[in-house]
Amino acid sequence: MPTDIIMPQLGESIAEGTIVKWLVSPGGRVEKDQPLLEVETDKVALEVPSPTAGFLSDVLVPEGQTVPVGTLIARLEAQAPTGVISRVGGVVMKPMAVQEETEAEHYSPAVRQLAKERGVDLSQVKGTGTAGRVTKQDVLGFVENSAPAQATPTRPIPAHPSSKQTGEEVIPLTSMRKTIAERMVASRHSAAHVVTFFEADFSGLALFRQKHQLTYLPFIITAVTRAMKDVPLLNSSWGENGVVLKHDVHMGIAVALEDGLLVPVIRNADKKGLTQLGKEVSDLAERARAKRLNPDEVQGGTFTITNHGGTGSLFSTPIIHQPQIAILGVGAVQKRPVVINDAIAIRPMCYLSLSFDHRVIDGATGDEFMTKVKEYLEQSEWERFL
């Protein structure tokens, strides 16, 4: 009996997913729990493991297509299939009825829409996707390489140069990049962004973190969660009926990926010590970059920290991660001359920025919170927080 592969439920609020890449060729052998395909949603990109061992005999949904949760996307056979050899060297087995139906629906809605916008006859386009399906890239390539005849206007109009002539290249937007763009614009439109900057002296924790082989981030998380106990309004969100105060602190940690940004969440961060926080930060970041996060690991955050200083940046005005009320930006830690007791000293200093929603947080409240964060970072009693 074949095993059906369906688009999985990748989170409570996720209704569809985009197949980014099939990691096993049609007809190829796959082991149980081996990554079978890469799926992208509006929240996370991850690899989906095979539910059982077998051979990928039937790929019903090509790369680049978005389908609802629960859609049949492929089948696995227990035995090596014998059937039509595909163009990519795999084997595709399909009953005649299914084959005819697939040919009738050879083009995804996104491809048909793009072809309509560009005036392309899809029957003239050669497909390079799975089983010869036409992809968006095929349509764009067809448009670029074609020179359709145009009616001569009364007034000559210069022909629009192709991307090759202008030295330009169109990089198709991924589902993740589209979502990031939409959410960042929506955040700027919905929240009243204000940013305040502080500078903290990291001398007290520099030697301690080296001794215990920790990064700066666990210390910053600890300082933020402690400051939230003093100024709890920072752990809230805007609601139609009022400000929603959160009693649990779930800390989002922004992780830069090759093609976007993910914000995995550390649950109950205020109840964890530096060592545990360090392990969780490292684990989440590593699995985020490997696209192996679970959907629930990027949901439910109540506050976000973004460490833009990892690439050398000193200042930043990060955009609030909705529906949260604030986000903390952490700049690079650099040794700088500072005045201490009327004398100049060299200290490891760090600029911190707090972007907050002025609908909920006033400037005085934001500064009160940052004063506490600075105070807790500069204190030297770190042993009790291990």
Residues with a catalytic annotation lie at: 358, 362
C-beta of residue 328 within 8 angstroms of C-beta of residue 305: yes
DSSP-based three-state secondary structure for 364: helix
CB 317 within 8 A of CB 295: no
- For the chain, give the longest Cα–Cα distance: 86
Question: End-to-end CA distance of the chain, in Å?
Answer: 53
Cα angle 334, 336, 340 (rounded to 5 degrees) comes to: 130
- HSE-CB of 74 using CA atoms within 13 angstroms: 34
Are 14 and 40 within 8 A, CB to CB? Answer: no
To the nearest 5 percent, what fractions of the chain are helix, strand and coil?
Answer: 35, 25, 40
Report the C-alpha gap between 124 and 244 in whole angstroms.
Answer: 56
CB 226 within 8 A of CB 376: yes
- Cα 247 to Cα 81, 191, 244, 279, distances in angstroms: 55, 22, 10, 24
Q: Identify the burial level of 196 via C-beta atoms within 10 angstroms of its C-beta, where 0-12 means exposed, 13-18 middle and 19 or more buried.
A: middle
What pairs with residue 369 in β-bridges?
none
Question: What b/e sequence results for 206-222 when a residue is b if at least 16 CB atoms lie within 10 Å of its CB, and e otherwise?
Answer: bebbeeeebebbbbbbb
- For the packed helices 109-118 and 136-145, what is the interaxial angle rounded to 10 degrees? 20
Torsion sign (Cα): 355, 359, 363, 367? negative
Contacts of 153 (CB under 8 A, 6+ apart): none
